């Protein structure tokens, strides 16, 4: 039976909100919780000691805790912080860039996040020799690619799949949120704290397109692979990752937990998750198509056109 994980919060929330959020998460059936800032080093409302306090609380609640690192390292101060995280002896580290992988290699076992481009079994085998214990399947790859890689997966390496949430698509040295507010990156005034789920970008036809979150670009729609749970079990996926959002994260965790234990029908889950997703859902990448597509809806549209 796959376990449930809660990925790192990708947005800038204030300290009290974070403590309240993780207090609620401690009471949920999620098995693994990833903690830490992965997007922007200027988000400093949480001190290292604050993260460790939350980590200890979650550990005492029976959760496995993993400390996540920045995805884009641009300054010596960020490298120093990264080294500090990688040297910790208490918690496993999720490496989100190759600098973290190099620091952890041969020293500690580690997890790779979705930004590490593990696209083939050769890369997986190489990293397993360096200490990889779990990898997060890149969000842009398909089910068929995962099946091939699972067949060649090294012994002792777990596979985690991003099953719900806005997809992390790209990172840039530019800060898109600062640019939106006509501010320089170095004087951004931390405006991203005003948008707890990022800034939505729409097309001229007013269709949701992307979300900007500081230096990160996300999908506007939330990836939802609840219909693929049984297939993932067959593929030997070990962990299913939910990405936090500002509202309804606890409800989303409970829905997936109920589906995993056959206490809720998939159709009910689809309807409930659609209502909890701010701008709808998608699953195109999993099926080898455009990421923003919803394959089931696409097939329905084709059938309607034929009729």
> Is residue 189 over pLDDT 90?
yes
pLDDT of residue 106: 85
Query: pLDDT grade, residue 295 (50/70/90)?
Result: confident
User: What would the mean pLDDT of 180-205 be, rounded to a whole number?
Assistant: 94
> Is residue 131 over pLDDT 70?
yes
- Bridge partners, residue 68, by sequence: 94
CATH code, 7:
3.20.20.80
Residue 211 phi, psi dihedral angles, 5° rounding: -125, 130
Cβ atoms of 276 and 244 closer than 8 Å: no
The reply to whether 210 falls in a domain is no
Of 79, 129, 80, whose CA–CA distance to 106 is shortest? 129
Residue 107 or 61, more confident: 61
Of 273, 277, 282, 239, whose CA–CA distance to 6 is shortest? 239
For residue 90, give its domain range: 3-167+221-279
User: What would the mean pLDDT of 178-201 be, rounded to a whole number?
Assistant: 95
The reply to whether 268 falls in a domain is yes
Q: How far apart are the first and last CA of the chain?
A: 41
The reply to whether 214 falls in a domain is no
pLDDT of residue 300: 44
Per-residue model confidence as pLDDT tens digits over 209-233? 999 999 999 999 999 999 999 999 9
The reply to whether 174 falls in a domain is no
Q: Who contacts 4 (Cβ-Cβ below 8 Å, separation ≥6)?
A: 29, 30, 31, 32, 239, 240, 242, 253, 256, 257, 260
Query: pLDDT grade, residue 176 (50/70/90)?
Result: very high
Residue 20 or 300, more confident: 20
> Is residue 64 over pLDDT 50?
yes
pLDDT of residue 307: 43
Cβ atoms of 101 and 112 closer than 8 Å: yes
Dist. CA 21–CA 13, nearest whole Å: 10
Of 95, 148, 160, 158, whose CA–CA distance to 121 is shortest? 148
The reply to whether 78 falls in a domain is yes
pLDDT of residue 302: 46
* Neighbour count for residue 210 (Cβ, 10 Å): 22
Per-residue model confidence as pLDDT tens digits over 231-260? 999 999 999 999 999 999 999 999 999 999
pLDDT of residue 192: 96
Total domains, the chain: 1
Share of the chain above pLDDT 70, in %: 96
Dist. CA 85–CA 97, nearest whole Å: 13
The reply to whether 173 falls in a domain is no
Q: Crossing angle of helices 143-151/121-130, nearest 10°? A: 50
Share of the chain above pLDDT 90, in %: 92
pLDDT of residue 299: 46
Dist. CA 236–CA 180, nearest whole Å: 43
3-state secondary structure labels for all residues of the chain: CCEEEECCCCCCCCHHHHHHHHHHHCCCCCCEEEECCCCCCCCCCCCHHHHHHHHHHHHHCCCEEEEECCCCCCCHHHHHHHHHHHHCCCCEEEECCHHHHHHHCCCCCEEECCCCCCCCHHHHHHHHHHCEEEEECCCCCCHHHHHHHHHCCCCCCEEEEEEEEEEEEEECCCCHHHHHCCCCHHHCCCHHHHCCCCEEEECCCCCEEEEEECCEEEEEEEEECHHHHHHHHHHCCCEEEECCCCCCHHHHHHHHHHHHCCCCCHHHHHHHHHHHCCCCEECCHHHCCCCCCCHHHHHHHHHHHHC
> Is residue 44 over pLDDT 70?
yes
The reply to whether 272 falls in a domain is yes
**Length of the chain counted residue by residue:** 307
pLDDT of residue 303: 40
Query: pLDDT grade, residue 163 (50/70/90)?
Result: very high
pLDDT of residue 141: 97
Query: What does pLDDT average to over the chain?
Result: 94
């Amino acid at each position: 039976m796959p376990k449930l994980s809660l990925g790192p919060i990708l947005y800038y929330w204030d300290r009290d909100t974070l403590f309240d959020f993780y207090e609620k998460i401690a009471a949920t059936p999620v098995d693994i919780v990833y903690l830490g800032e992965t997007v922007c080093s200027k988000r400093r409302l949480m001190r290292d000691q604050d993260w460790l306090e939350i980590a200890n609380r979650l550990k005492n609640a029976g959760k496995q805790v993993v400390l996540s690192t920045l995805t884009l390292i641009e300054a010596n101060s960020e490298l120093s912080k990264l080294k500090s995280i990688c040297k910790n002896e208490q918690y496993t580290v999720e490496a989100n860039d190759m600098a973290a992988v190099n620091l952890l290699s041969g020293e500690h076992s580690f997890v790779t996040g979705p930004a590490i481009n593990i696209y083939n079994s050769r890369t997986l085998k190489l990293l397993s020799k360096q200490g990889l214990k779990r990898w997060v399947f890149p969000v842009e790859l398909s089910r068929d690619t995962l099946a091939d890689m699972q067949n060649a997966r090294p012994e002792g390496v777990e596979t985690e799949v991003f099953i719900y949430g806005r997809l992390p698509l790209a990172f840039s040295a530019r800060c898109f949120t600062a640019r939106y507010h006509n501010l320089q990156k170095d004087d951004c005034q931390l405006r991203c704290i005003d948008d707890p789920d990022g800034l939505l970008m729409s097309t001229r036809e007013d269709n949701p397109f992307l979300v900007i979150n500081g230096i990160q670009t996300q999908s506007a729609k939330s990836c939802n692979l609840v219909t693929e749970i049984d297939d993932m079990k067959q593929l030997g996926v070990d962990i299913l990752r939910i990405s936090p959002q500002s509202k309804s994260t606890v409800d989303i965790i409970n829905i997936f937990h109920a589906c995993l234990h056959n206490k809720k029908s998939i159709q009910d889950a689809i309807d409930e998750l659609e209502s909890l997703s701010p701008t709808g859902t998608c699953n195109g990448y999993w099926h080898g198509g455009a990421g923003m597509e919803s394959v089931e809806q696409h097939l329905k549209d084709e059938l309607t056109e034929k009729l």
